[in-house]
Amino acid sequence: MAYVDWSIRGPEIANCNCSFGCPCQFNALPTFGDCRAMTAVKIDEGHFGDVDLGGVAFCGMFAWPKAIHEGNGEAFVVISDNASEAQRNALLTILSGQETAPGATIFNVFAPTLAKMHDPVFARIEFDLDLEKRVGSVRVAGVIDTAIEPIRNPVTGAEHRVRVVLPHGFEYREAEFASGKTRAQGPIALSFDKSHSHLAMLHLTTNGVA
């Protein structure tokens, strides 16, 4: 089957309610039995067919009552308000797992686990990330506030660095692990602190991670 050629490349911030490391990264069950998470990406370079996606950002909030693969999840997406209608439509297509080789990306893999997609919102997304320092933030006024910092040794307070490589990952090939704090309100409420975060430079395409 022929799919629309697309690609997005840019930094990602993700934060979930699990303990540092996140069992999902190792094909294990979630720390507390359910999964609540956010992820945001600022697209430095990208396209969907002939639609340029550079300069657009998106942020997603998610909730599953049990492990992700058990389904019945819900999702709420914010797309930056500087996106044109064509860019919005292109991103919503990608994020819903369409025009993608089966199993090739996190969007395509997660789509069948979602029972409810809330109407998207278009608003200003403040996104900042220093991947090397493991420090970042994502803010959408009235919707979500996420702050990322390094994991720290509980005795000395020294920064603890962890980097994970997934040679066959459907989200990233390599990511820095960090500590995150998120508060979100609206269709999907989130509230966690000093929980798992991973930071990566994403490069996803129609056929998977580049």
pLDDT surpasses 90 at 1: no
Q: How far apart are CA 155 and CA 153, in angstroms?
A: 6
**Each residue's pLDDT tens digit, 92-150:** 999 999 999 999 999 999 999 999 999 999 999 999 999 999 999 999 999 999 999 99
* Cβ-Cβ contacts under 8 Å for 61 (sequence gap 6 or more): 37, 38, 75, 76, 77, 144, 184, 186, 187, 188, 190
Residue 44 backbone zone (phi > 0: left; psi -120 to 50: alpha; other: beta): alpha
**Each residue's pLDDT tens digit, 31-72:** 999 999 999 999 999 999 999 999 999 999 999 999 999 999
CA dihedral defined by 188, 14, 64, 17, rounded to 10 degrees?
-90
Q: How far is CA 70 from CA 21, 35, 73, in A?
A: 21, 11, 9
| Res 10: pLDDT | 98
Q: How far is CA 65 from CA 16, 44, 68, 73, 113, in A?
A: 14, 33, 8, 7, 11
**Each residue's pLDDT tens digit, 153-198:** 999 999 999 999 999 999 999 999 999 999 999 999 999 999 999 9
Q: Which two tokens stand for residue 108?
A: 């395509």
| Res 181: pLDDT | 98
Question: If you ran DSSP here, which 8-state letter would residue 27 be given?
Answer: T
